[in-house]
Amino acid sequence: MNKNDFAPRPPMGWNSYDYYDTTVNEFQVRANAAVLAEKLRPFGWEYVVVDIQWYAHGAGSMREQFQYIPFGEVEMDGFSRLLPDPERFPSSVGGKGFGPLAEYVHSLGLKFGIHIMRGIPRAAAHRRAPVKGCRLTADMVADPSSVCRWNPDMYGVRDCEAGQVYYDSLLELYASWGVDFIKCDDICNTNNQSAYGEGNYAGRHEIEMLARAIEKQGRPIVLSLSPGPALIERSWHYKKYANMWRITDDLWDKWPDVKAMFARCELWQDHVEAGCYPDCDMLPLGQLGSGFGHGAWSCRLTREEQRTMVTLWCLFGSPLMVGAELTELDDWTLSLLTNREVLAMLPARPRQLRCTEEEAVWTAGDGTYLALFNLADSLRTVSVSESECSGLSRGGTELWTGKEAPVAAGRLAVTLGEHSCAVYRMKQ
């Protein structure tokens, strides 16, 4: 199997994290999947991803003190593999795991994904639990010096044959559940763990183990690596073994986060290709944050900033994962997620023409698309000339408004409000 065939276009879907944090349950996943199938699937949205700590008992119960309870109780099988918490995911009872939930998601015409942490459960290592297909126990496979600082659930896996056997058994289990997508955390950039080895790329061998384990299952499972920022000097390695990798740390609904993405996209623009996608992170749109202990809120970006974010993500060719509570999806957010003309840019072979503190100009699709961004905190006219963008004189149509491009004397000049954009499909 060629892993690039698993994702010929950037994956699009829903992820539970931005609204639920660690607390999501089966009822909520099913409810969001139903909305995704009804309202967004016709536009290409297809993945339903259960994010972090689905295996943890009491997740979120100590949120004021801990996002991840230190040495909290976890659900685990007899071979050191984490299982869904049966209180939150009742269909998993009896060793069924995520099989029944994945079956439901598939019945809607969607695909099912899960979040995992790099490594082997610390609880398994401390119990000297067995590893399937191996004489060694979890404590012998684990690397106790490799611990994620922000989530203490796992030890890294040593670079050894038994480590590969563990990952093989893990993917065997996931494949039996019907998993189509894996988001692996603490692996794209390991700078938040205790420093050792290669430091911020200490999980290199575990990326390779995961990729080999996926290949052995004979099932097309998309591999997503988190968190960022990804290391540009390791681009070849991400592209060889993964389908997508985060080029930023967690991105939230703040304009400075969105603006900073322009520089990250500039750095990674030459590495977008079929099956290989630098990932700008989830789209923090709609209702967010209920599981974080402070009550839910509506996206804090202005409507123009939201359009700018969606435009850049699509133009760049980033995977699209929306973090909103879909059962409370408002008409505005729905309009952002269902603009066929904007979504059609995925993937579009991006190319930045220029970028300053005040503005950015991008093309994509070998000149099919042209985008002008006002990054300044005030009204600004952004322009581009025929010499910068050949074929400009033929004109084009703005994808959000349907207006014709105001081209005159070989120049396109658009006055844009603060943090807003205009994106055109140019006539060929």
Q: What is the pTM of this model?
A: 0.95
Q: What is the pLDDT of residue 349?
A: 85
Mean of pLDDT values over 335-361? 94
The answer on 391 and 320 residing in a single domain is no
Strands in 411-416's sheet, in edge-to-edge order, are 380-385, 411-416, 407-408
Q: For residue 398, give both structure tokens.
A: 């703005």
Mutual angle of helices 204-217 and 161-177, in 10-degree steps: 50
Instruction: Evaluate if residue 192 carries a pLDDT over 60.
Output: no
Q: Provide the 3-class DSSP secondary structure of residue 40.
A: helix
125-170 residue pLDDT tens: 999 999 999 999 999 999 999 999 899 999 999 999 999 999 999 9
Decide if pLDDT at 319 tops 60.
yes
Residues with Cβ within 8 Å of 18's Cβ and at least 6 positions away in sequence, in order, are 282, 284, 288, 289, 323, 324
Interval 286-293 mean pLDDT = 94
**Per-residue pLDDT at 195 exceeds 50:** no
Same-domain check for residues 326 and 193: yes
- Specify whether 208 is located in the same domain as 88: yes
Question: Do 88 and 31 fall into the same domain?
Answer: yes
Residues 332 and 216 in one domain: yes
| Dist CA 234 CA 238 (whole Å) | 7
Task: Quickly list DSSP for 381-417.
Answer: EEEEETTTSTTGGG-EEETTT-PBP-EETTEEEEEE-
Residue 384 sits in a domain of what CATH number? 2.60.40.1180
Mark which of 307, 323, 347 sits at the end of a domain: 347
Q: What confidence tier does 197 reach under pLDDT thresholds 50, 70, 90?
A: very low
**Domain final residue pick, 325, 347, 369:** 347
- Examine the domain organization and report whether 278 and 386 are in the same domain: no
Res 348 pLDDT > 80: no
- Residue that terminates a domain, selected from 320, 347, 374: 347
Number of domains in the chain: 2
Q: Which residue has the higher pLDDT, 174 or 395?
A: 174
User: Domain range holding 46?
Assistant: 3-347
> Within this chain, do residues 135 and 19 fall inside the same structural domain, yes or no?
yes
Ramachandran angles phi, psi of 360, nearest 5°: -145, 145
